[in-house]
Amino acid sequence: MPVHVTLATYSDWMYAAALVIYIGALLLHAAQLAGRKARLPELVGVAAGSAERTGAPAQAEAPVAAGAPADPVEAAAPGIGRSERLGRMAVSLTVLGALVHAGSLLLRGLAVERVPWGNMYEFGSSICLVAVVTWLVVVRREPAVLRLGAFVLLPIVILLFTSGTLLYTKAAPLMPALQSYWIVVHVSAAVIASGVLLVAGVASLLFLARSANDRDGDRFARLARRLPAAGVLDRVAYRGTVFAFPVWTFAIITGAIWAETAWGRYWGWDPKETVAFVAWVIYAGYLHARATAGWRNGRAAWVNVAGFAVMVFNLFFVNLVVAGLHSYAGVG
Amino acid sequence: MGEAIGVLRNTWRGLTSMRTALVLLFLLALAALPGALLPQRSLNASKVDEYRAQHPALGPILERLGAFDVFASPWFAAIYLLLFVSLVGCLVPRTLDYARSARARPVGTPRNLARLPHHRAATVGLTPDEVVETANDRLRGWRVERRVEAGGAHTLSAEKGYLREVGNLVFHFALLALLVAFAVGKLFGYEGQVIVLANGGQFCNSGLLSYDSFRPGLRVDGTDLDPFCVRVDGFTADYDETTGQARSFSADLAYQDAADIEGGRWERSELRVNHPLRLAGDRVYLLGHGYAPIFTVTFPDGQQRTNTIQWRPMDPQTLLSEGATKFDPPGVTDAQQRRERQLAVTGLLAPTAFFDGSLLTSSFAEPRDPAVAVDVLRGDLGNDSGRGQSIFTVDQSMVETGRLVRVARQNLRPGEELTLDDGTRVRFDGVEQWASLQVSHDPAQLWVLVSALLVLAGLGVSLTIKRRRFWVRATPAQGHDLDGRTVVELGGLARTDQAGYGEEFARLATGVTTALDERAETERDARCRST
């Protein structure tokens, strides 16, 4: 199995290009948020009269007073505002970035004649692509989340940057332990679940900020007024998790089947297996919490955030620090 | 007495409540974490010892807590057993409930449909009976019940998505089955490792002693193992020229199962990573490989001894290996004398030698130009000390106490030899490959797989199917110019959290109202013609 060096080089260039494009989209999203900040008090002032003077939490009350829809910003901006235009440009840029990113992975795969998720650099890159695509799907189905762009793209850009620098691995054939068709099934399921759960985790985190602000207008005031309604955030988090949980279950089961073929046992409490199990239990807890009175909102969101934290821990700490059978990072 | 029953009942209710189950779930997650963060004896005992040496204060406490054996510890077992008791306590009543509700008729129509999350109203020129009949036709696949209320209104209750609860129950019962099958595997399974020389070396699954290491299940005592034998006739590895990374390993294998042993037949197979040999009850895996140097010692009296002992790889990339090949002087029966003249050849083995000055390293994993850098030690190997010995090292305490003394140090290539002060000659003849095999036995793993697939299927069903209800109330319209017309109210409710029932309800409601309008039109046409 030779390595096609030219293709691998092009793949690396496209990776860098995708990262730059994502950063551009991130900046546009940031400008979108900043634009909001500058315009809000003035517009709300017009709508609600003396809201500013009385010191009332303007964003929460103004629309109600004016009888406008629940969303102060959408209500204030006639037609498509400047900030929404910025947001849409950011999304278009993200689509471009995703295409270049997918091209980078495709070329990497062609260069080494195998699936492009055989080491941690490729794994991280694949997860990011899934997260970006998930984000684009969510934006299409729930336009209200457009404002989340910066918050979703930020962890993706960080993860891509880390993968492309610290974890970068030259294009190479797979080590014998990974030469199995199960790598196609098991790892892709893990990639898809991780990417979707990343978006869900961010949504839950922002849900917590937003609902804390709903209870007490002083908390996260600068952040929360730029966020969509708590209900929207909650829905994104829940639907994402409901989609990803069975995929994650599938990833664990196929992992066990592969482990039986490769290591002689289907389950051996290898650190990666253990943490995958912990994440599974936490996400199962999230789904149950959603059906339990008293846990439904705040606590369930905390559980989802904990699940996300465990996934990140599983990706970095277990692969890089803890030595186990899953140490395929190819770094250090 | 009554009080005691009350306490018991409350405990049971507490244990089987969802809140308790949630807390137990999180405890389970929390309890599993040290299993990933701390070295575990079941995975790597030497790492545990290393950790304990580094943390003399914390180590014994963790040891006592069972933190180096999390998954065999009583507290971990306590959590999952409580969780499963709680699960059973929740599942049994739910199954009974489901069995009852599976035969029950859909519930009556709520009085005020306008208060439901999904609602629509219309007025049509049909009788209440016709309205309900038309709606009934549109609701294929739904379980429906028609009722007539006291005020003359006709209602239709429809319900769908009963499979959701089935999926839910299957998921949880399959989890129970998974745990049971897992436990059975732990009781009746075993795992053993053995290193076999790849020059026709043989291994037979005849008992504990055939293995280098053996991990039995609780009900396995090492007798009555499934009889089979394997013979490794060769080993090939393929490496990338530039990076030195291995591309593939393959052991050329001959094996015989119980019937073959009777008949003395051998069957051929190829053992590779990810391609185990599957026999009736056992699986044989290729775990690793390495080199065994061949040393021949010619003693002063002319007697020769040749030993080929596996050395262990230190560097997986270049397979630079270390080890100790030990010799007993031939023909010496006196224990005292023997303890003065035992020999050990220890040091490094490089499959492709690269000398940095006289320092030996390996530049490639293939045996292209093997060489060894050895110390020869003479004296008491400590075999009679009663302590267990590693085959890869000499007993350092013997060296420290001066009972085992270094008498030579030299680099050797195949065919070269060194001579000791008493005339003993040690020759390095070359290297053999060895393969490390693992034998696994788990009689319940198929059931684990079946349970796991049921878990997945149940999960898929319970997360995709929504339990939802749809109601129709047709009330004769009141008012002088509305005679013969009927007020139709539609209501919908999903019993599932975040079900996204809205879209389906809208589609359904539009379907029903359209059908009603169409029917009203045909009825009117028919009436017009008849008058």
pLDDT at residue B500 greater than cutoff 90 = no
Once rounded to an integer, what is the mean pLDDT over residues A229-234? 88
Query: Which chain A residue shows the shortest CA-CA distance from B238?
Result: A176
Task: Give the pLDDT band (50/70/90) at residue B1.
Answer: low
- For B517-529, the pLDDT digits (tens) are 888 888 878 776 6
Query: Which chain B residue shows the shortest CA-CA distance from A231?
Result: B498
The answer to whether the CB atoms of A173 and B22 lie below 8 A apart is no
Q: To the nearest whole angstrom, how far is the Cα of A175 from the nearest Cα of chain B?
A: 6
pLDDT at residue B40 greater than cutoff 90 = no
Instruction: Report the percentage of chain A scoring pLDDT > 70.
Output: 83
pLDDT at residue A53 greater than cutoff 80 = no
Once rounded to an integer, what is the mean pLDDT over residues B466-474? 90
The answer to whether the CB atoms of A294 and B442 lie below 8 A apart is no
Please list every residue in chain A whose beta carbon sits closer than 8 Å to the beta carbon of residue B70. Answer: 269
Q: To the nearest whole angstrom, how far is the Cα of A294 from the nearest Cα of chain B?
A: 9
Residue A12 CB partners (closer than 8 Å, separation 6+): A104
Q: To the nearest whole angstrom, how far is the Cα of A253 from the nearest Cα of chain B?
A: 7
- For A153-195, the pLDDT digits (tens) are 999 999 999 999 988 888 888 888 888 889 999 999 999 999 9
Find out whether B470 and B158 touch, Cβ atoms under 8 Å.
Answer: yes
The answer to whether the CB atoms of B42 and A269 lie below 8 A apart is yes
- For A112-141, the pLDDT digits (tens) are 888 999 888 999 999 999 999 999 999 998
Q: To the nearest whole angstrom, how far is the Cα of B6 from the nearest Cα of chain A?
A: 25
Best mutation target, A281, A295, A305, A327, to test chain B (most B CBs within 10 A): A281
**Least confident residue range of B22-31, B96-105, B142-151, B499-508:** B499-508
* E strand intervals along B18-134: 118-124
pTM of the model: 0.86
Expressed in percent and rounded to 5, the helix, strand and coil fractions of chain A are 75, 0, 25
Query: Which chain B residue shows the shortest CA-CA distance from A317?
Result: B37
The answer to whether the CB atoms of A269 and B453 lie below 8 A apart is no
pLDDT at residue B456 greater than cutoff 90 = yes
State the pairing for strand pair B277-278/B417-419: unpaired
Instruction: Report the percentage of chain B scoring pLDDT > 90.
Output: 45
- Rounded to two decimals, the ipTM of the complex is 0.85
Q: Shortest CB distance from B273 goes to which of A176, A257, A285?
A: A176
Query: Which chain A residue shows the shortest CA-CA distance from B237?
Result: A176
**A22, A38, A157, B531 from A27: Cα distances, Å:** 9, 17, 11, 74
Cα(B353)–Cα(A297) distance, integer angstroms: 65
- For B311-369, the pLDDT digits (tens) are 999 988 889 999 999 998 888 888 888 888 899 999 999 999 998 888 899 999 999 99
Compute how many other C-beta atoms are within 10 angstroms of the C-beta atom of residue A53: 8
Once rounded to an integer, what is the mean pLDDT over residues B505-530? 84
User: A1 or B400: whose pLDDT is higher?
Assistant: B400
The answer to whether the CB atoms of A278 and B42 lie below 8 A apart is no
Cα(B104)–Cα(B157) distance, integer angstroms: 12
Once rounded to an integer, what is the mean pLDDT over residues A297-326? 85
Q: Between A and B, how many CB-CB pairs are < 8 A?
A: 130
Cα(A24)–Cα(A97) distance, integer angstroms: 9
- For B75-95, the pLDDT digits (tens) are 999 999 999 999 898 899 999
- For A248-285, the pLDDT digits (tens) are 999 999 999 999 998 889 998 888 999 999 999 999 99
Once rounded to an integer, what is the mean pLDDT over residues A218-244? 88
The answer to whether the CB atoms of A278 and B459 lie below 8 A apart is no
pLDDT at residue A56 greater than cutoff 50 = no
Please list every residue in chain B whose beta carbon sits closer than 8 Å to the beta carbon of residue A267. Answer: 182
User: B102 or A115: whose pLDDT is higher?
Assistant: A115
Q: Shortest CB distance from A284 goes to which of B25, B70, B453?
A: B25
Task: Give the pLDDT band (50/70/90) at residue A45.
Answer: very low
- In which residue are the tokens 């197979």 written? B269
What does the pLDDT read at residue A83? 82
The answer to whether the CB atoms of B498 and A235 lie below 8 A apart is yes
Please list every residue in chain A whose beta carbon sits closer than 8 Å to the beta carbon of residue B287. Answer: 264
User: B381 or A80: whose pLDDT is higher?
Assistant: B381
User: A235 or A129: whose pLDDT is higher?
Assistant: A129
The answer to whether the CB atoms of B245 and A294 lie below 8 A apart is no
Q: What is the mean pLDDT of chain A?
A: 83
Cα(A307)–Cα(A205) distance, integer angstroms: 11
Cα(A230)–Cα(A212) distance, integer angstroms: 10
CA proximity to A193, closest of A72, A295, A89, A307: A307
